[in-house]
């Protein structure tokens, strides 16, 4: 059994990861700045912390008790309203992240066909949702604006 390598096309901000963050205001050794919503030494990983923050700040979803009837349906509705997600790439051992309004993965051996002209027709609300997300997170990506990001995931 081998490892698979997948291609990911996403629209958003390349945030980098532990091996090199691509946001402004990093610490002396390249570590994330202090963020009131994330504790790198805590039990919650970066992806969980971002999702929790964005759901609370943008989609007004703060429920934590997954055992309450309808929790997952309400959470899924909130994620849809949010309109952005964190997309992991690079590898599962050393993840890097794209904050994306859109992503599509071509799994190894399963190509995806698309018209390159479609890349130039980005819905206007994608940029708005991404701007709201970086504001809610209190980060400033090094990218000046959202862009198409082509990356890979090995794992």
**Integer CA distances (angstroms), 11 to 39, 84, 147, in order:** 27, 10, 5
CB 155 within 8 A of CB 51: no
Higher pLDDT pick, 3 / 123: 123
83 phi and psi, to 5 degrees?
A: 75, 5
pTM for the structure as a whole: 0.91
Q: Report d(CA 84, CA 12) in Å as an integer.
A: 9
pLDDT, tens digit (0-9, with 9 covering 90-100), for 94-117: 899 999 999 999 888 888 888 888
Kindly report the average pLDDT of the chain as a whole number: 92
Q: Does residue 120 carry a pLDDT above 90?
A: no
Positive or negative, the CA dihedral 121, 9, 47, 29 is negative
Q: Report d(CA 25, CA 47) in Å as an integer.
A: 20
Per-residue model confidence (pLDDT) at position 3: 66
Per-residue model confidence (pLDDT) at position 87: 95
């Amino acid at each position: 059994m081998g490892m698979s390598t997948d291609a990911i096309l996403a629209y958003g901000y390349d945030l980098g990861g532990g091996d090199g963050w691509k946001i402004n205001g990093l610490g002396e050794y390249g570590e994330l700045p202090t963020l009131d919503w994330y504790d790198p030494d805590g039990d919650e990983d970066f992806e969980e912390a971002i999702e929790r923050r964005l759901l609370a700040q943008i989609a007004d979803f703060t429920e934590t008790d997954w055992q309450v009837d309808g929790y997952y349906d309400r959470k899924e509705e909130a994620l849809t309203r949010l309109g952005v997600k964190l997309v992991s790439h690079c590898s599962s051992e050393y993840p890097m992240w794209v904050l994306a309004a859109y992503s599509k993965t071509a799994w190894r051996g399963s190509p995806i066909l698309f018209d390159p002209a479609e890349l130039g027709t980005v819905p206007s609300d994608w940029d708005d949702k991404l701007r709201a997300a970086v504001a809610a997170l209190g980060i400033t990506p090094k990218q000046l604006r959202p862009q198409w990001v082509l990356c890979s995931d090995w794992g």
